[in-house]
Amino acid sequence: MSGFDKFNTDFYQSSYSVDDQNQAGYGYNNENQYNKQYSQYDYSQQMGYPAPGMMQPQQPYTGQIFQPTQTYTPSSSQSMYSSSFDDEPPLLEELGINFDHIWQKTLTVLHPLKVADGSIMNETDLAGPMVFCLAFGATLLLAGKIQFGYVYGISAIGCLGMYCLLNLMSMTGVSFGCVASVLGYCLLPMIVLSSFGVLFSLQGLMGIILTAAIIGWCSLSASKIFISALAMDGQQLLVAYPCALLYGVFALISVF
Amino acid sequence: MRNSSCREFMCLSVDRNQHSGRQAAGSPGQSMLSEPMSNLAMAYGSSLATQGKEMMDKNLDRFIPISKLKYYFAVDTLYVGKKLGLLVFPYMHENWEVSYQQDTPVAPRFDVNAPDLYIPAMGFITYVLVAGLALGTQNRFTPELLGVHASSALVWLIMEVLAVLLSLYLVTVSTDLTTIDLLAFAGYKYVGMIVGLVAGLMFGRPAYYLSLLWCCAAIFVFMTRTLRLKLLSEAAAEGKLVRVARNQLRMYLTMCIAAAQPVFMYWFTYHLIR
């Protein structure tokens, strides 16, 4: 804990003292670190920072000791269900696949100009993105390009890069699952592009215009969702640019 | 760490057995065994993951000061637009001083003169992608070449920052330039390189040379004016002659750093345009 002092001296002196952190010693040390960093990073942004649910050491700990918190394991609520057969939750609910939410998120992606609701990204859902990745690979296969490996590799590197960038740019952090989920959902228009690529070649003027439009569509949707989920102001184009780079690489695979 | 995890295991097993004991009536024998075990395993796994994450964050924080890095990414679209304009046309800008707020520099969002890391980072990635595109249009593209370009550019960037740090140390300049500031300034040249490359790809070699020349001159002026305020003493920066020999050395140092930028810009792009 003494390492924090050297961060403190270079920077904006917050009123958050080290002593406040020494309560709730069991297993909450990582959250104290995050709080220290966020309280330093306070460049008179008018909104302050909305502390995420599990990072408030001032609240009394109401759960059970050494039991993981709700937000960390999203399906832990399922474990509270009774073990009798009649009361067992349906399979899809237990797996955490909620078709209604998937459909809602898909609709959000398909309307890039409509304002998004920030709370839809609260549960990280990787089922939808997996389906979209597979569909993208399948349409590429139809065009004769067997490049599943590139698709997965680029999406992994891209997600990692976006995760680092968004954590550095936003006031509240973001989890890797959320980033992967959003980027996966916004891959949907790219599937449209690659299915066009099956029908006619994308290397002419029409193809270039279509490619540019689809890249713009994907990155605008992704940045819109990130902005509303992370409450970043005045940074939409800044978030859209790296998304456009990532989807540009996918488009390169579809076109060439 | 092992003791605490064993204790967790015990606590959880006691807990789960109580729960399942109460609801055991009427449930098939299999679910009575599997439900507490799977919950146990899940809870244990997630607590292990939490511990691992905690340890990683603690160690990461020692090497890369995340809170300092966050300062350099506190940008918004307006700042980026103005800064890009400055990088390409710095001749009309008059006030190059960074404003301070109670001894700490103001975030880049609020002051266009403050260095940031968003533009260099995006510039670097865009440069690598545009290099790939240029190679692709000449049918020389392989993924290995992309990696070669990326790593060589990165290595030369790091070496440039180290060289500047060494020369600052040798000239015994007391300045508040941090390593990350120097990294940011060294990364601004990627913008000029990208402009040159794109012009060359779209309009051919003469356009590449013209735009590169313009961007080299611009980055030279930008670096000189920015570094002058940081490296030279205040009086000399305002134009008065103070302790001639010492300031001459610092002036030469500033000139050298600024002159190195166009050299790098040309070196990294000329082989991409045919």
| Residue A76 pLDDT grade (very low, low, confident, very high; cuts 50, 70, 90) | very low
Partner residue facing A234 (CB), from B26, B69, B76: B76
Q: How many domains does chain A have?
A: 1
Cα distances (angstroms) measured from residue A30 to each of A37, A129, A169, A199, B57: 11, 30, 20, 52, 8
Please give the Cα distance from B183 to B64 (Å, whole number).
14
Pair B144, B196 in one domain = yes
In a domain, residue A100? The reply is no
Query: Does B150 reside within a domain?
Result: yes
CB under 8 A, 24+ apart: contacts of B26-32: B26/A84, B27/A82, B27/A83, B27/A84, B27/A85, B28/A85, B31/A83, B31/A84, B31/A85, B32/A83
Instruction: Answer whether A72 touches B (CB < 8 Å).
Output: yes
Note the pTM of the prediction, 2 decimals.
0.70
Query: Which residues between 79 and 138 in chain A have a beta carbon less than 8 angstroms from any beta carbon of chain B?
Result: 79, 82-85
Q: Could you read off the pLDDT of B145-180 as tens digits, one per residue?
A: 888 888 999 999 999 999 999 988 888 777 878 889
Q: Is residue B3 part of a domain?
A: no
Task: Assess if residue A117 is contained within a domain.
Answer: no
Using one digit for the tens of pLDDT, what is the confidence trace for B97-131? Answer: 888 888 778 888 888 888 999 999 999 999 998 99
Judge whether B238 is closer than 8 Å to chain A, CB to CB: no
Q: Are residues B43 and B123 in the same domain?
A: no
Assign B87 a pLDDT band (cuts: 50, 70, 90).
very high
* Confidence at residue B162, expressed as pLDDT on a 0 to 100 scale: 94
Highest mean pLDDT among A23-32, A48-57, A199-208, B32-41: A199-208
Domain that residue A217 falls in = 122-255
Is A43 close to B26, i.e. CB distance below 8 A? no
Query: What is the reported pLDDT for B20?
Result: 45
Q: Are residues B84 and B60 in the same domain?
A: no
Q: Is residue B253 assigned to a domain?
A: yes
* Residue of B73, B106, B139 best to disrupt the A interface, most CBs of A under 10 A: B73
B142 — contact with chain A (CB < 8 Å)? no
Q: Which of the two residues, B223 and B139, has the higher pLDDT score?
A: B223
Tell me the chain A residues in contact with residue B78 when contact means C-beta distances shorter than 8 Å: 234
- A12 and B CB contact within 8 Å: yes
The stretch B62-72 carries a mean pLDDT of: 79
- The pLDDT tens digits of the residues spanning B248-271 come to 888 888 899 999 999 999 999 988
B109 touches chain A (CB under 8 A): yes
pLDDT of residue A90: 77
Question: Domains in chain B: how many in total?
Answer: 2
The residue segments making up the domain with residue B105 are: 76-272
CA–CA min distance B261, chain A (Å): 25
**A233 vs B: CB within 8 A:** yes
Task: List the one residue out of B46, B49, B27, B28 whose CA is nearest residue B38.
Answer: B46
Tokens read off for A185: 């959902």
The pLDDT mean for chain B works out to: 81
B59 and B161, same domain (yes or no): no
